[in-house]
Amino acid sequence: MKFKPALIAAVSALTLVAGAAQAEKWDMPMAYSATNFHSATGAEFANCVTTGTGGDIEIVTHPSGSLFKGADIKRAIQTGQAPIGERLMSGHQNENAVFGFDSVPFLATSFDDAARLWEAAKPTMTTLLDQQNLVLLYAVPWPPQGLYFKKEVNSVADMKGIKFRSYNNATARLAELTGMLPVSIEAAEISQAFATGVAEAMVSSGATGYDRKVWESLTHFYEVDSWLPRNYVMVNKDVWGKTSEANQNVIRACASMAEYAGTWRSKEYTGFTLNGLRAGGMTVQRAGEQLQSELKEIGATMSAEWLKSAGQDGQSIIEAYNASK
């Protein structure tokens, strides 16, 4: 789904109230490949802003960690090395546990649940990012997360000793609790890591596996719907404060369209990418009852740990989420 021309025209109309401004170029680092749906959505958002501001602000995207690696993107924006960028929200869980709200196992396992969880968490996350010199623009969920292996796995015992790609605290902890060995690997490095044996498994969406052609190294994908993590786009607060109100309105409107279009893409991409994994030769199936049961026990442990570390903010998010059901 692309941004509708009529909506872009409406955004462009906002420039009629904008005063003359000096043209600015905003480089936008992104961690995932240009073909990934998050990157495609970001590119359309960038074009929307460039068009909508009449060229006052030109946003240029830099996918695949080409400008800054994924783990460095948020810090680069906070410190003004880049004005805007996208990052996996739970990638900051080591800074503050609240960032991992969307990676609590089996808390929100569907798009509808993930949407309610995001609405519950958005006020807290907006305030937290504001305190870190950042302005939240939009966030888009990944498809439900499943488990990738290079062998058949029917129980947690079958996972022992496997080198497991971790990308946040939740995935590292999942590895520990299942007896796997966590290895920190950025998205742009996935293909090489599996090809060289640096990693042998991961928890991720069908989208990531499809984009990185993991069937060249892996053989099995198990649907467990553990969580739906979000990527989010943020802008440096100082840069935002110097942006005219008219252009801020354009950016907000483009961000709203990006969140809608990106979420639609994520839903549509779920079935498409799983079929793509099958076409590549992988076995794609629901996890067996034993594996599901054992994973949910581990999920209960991780949930309790997250609530303890996230404190009152985490508790407030969960209470708001439960109240929305």
b/e map 127-149, b = 16+ CB within 10 Å: ebbeeebbbbbbbbbbbbbbbbb
5-10+21-143+229-271 and 146-226+282-323: identical CATH topology: yes
- pLDDT recorded at residue 20: 46
Compute the distance between CA of residue 277 and CA of residue 212 in angstroms, rounded to an integer: 10
**Close Cβ partners of 266 (under 8 Å, ≥ 6 residues apart):** 37, 111, 140, 141, 142, 143, 207
Query: Can you give the residue ranges of every domain in the chain?
Result: 5-10+21-143+229-271, 146-226+282-323
- pLDDT recorded at residue 256: 98
- pLDDT recorded at residue 19: 44
- pLDDT recorded at residue 188: 87
Distance of CA 223 to the CA centre of its chain: 18
Contact 324, 120 (CB under 8 A): yes
pLDDT along the chain (325 residues), means of 10: 57 48 89 94 98 97 96 97 98 95 96 98 98 98 97 98 95 97 93 96 95 96 97 98 97 98 96 97 97 96 96 97 93
Compute the distance between CA of residue 238 and CA of residue 254 in angstroms, rounded to an integer: 20
**Close Cβ partners of 116 (under 8 Å, ≥ 6 residues apart):** 108, 321, 324, 325
Helices of type H across the chain: 5-13, 37-52, 70-78, 111-131, 169-178, 190-196, 206-211, 237-241, 245-279, 289-323
3-class SS at 80?
Answer: coil
- pLDDT recorded at residue 23: 87
- pLDDT recorded at residue 9: 53
For domain 146-226+282-323, give the fold: D-Maltodextrin-Binding Protein; domain 2 (3.40.190)
- pLDDT recorded at residue 8: 53
The candidate with the shortest Cα–Cα distance to 65, out of 32, 26, 28, 27, is 32
- pLDDT recorded at residue 175: 97
- Looking at domain 5-10+21-143+229-271, its CATH architecture is 3-Layer(aba) Sandwich (3.40)
Phi and psi of 170, rounded to 5°?
-65, -45
3-class SS at 4?
Answer: coil
Compute the distance between CA of residue 247 and CA of residue 237 in angstroms, rounded to an integer: 14
Compute the distance between CA of residue 211 and CA of residue 143 in angstroms, rounded to an integer: 13
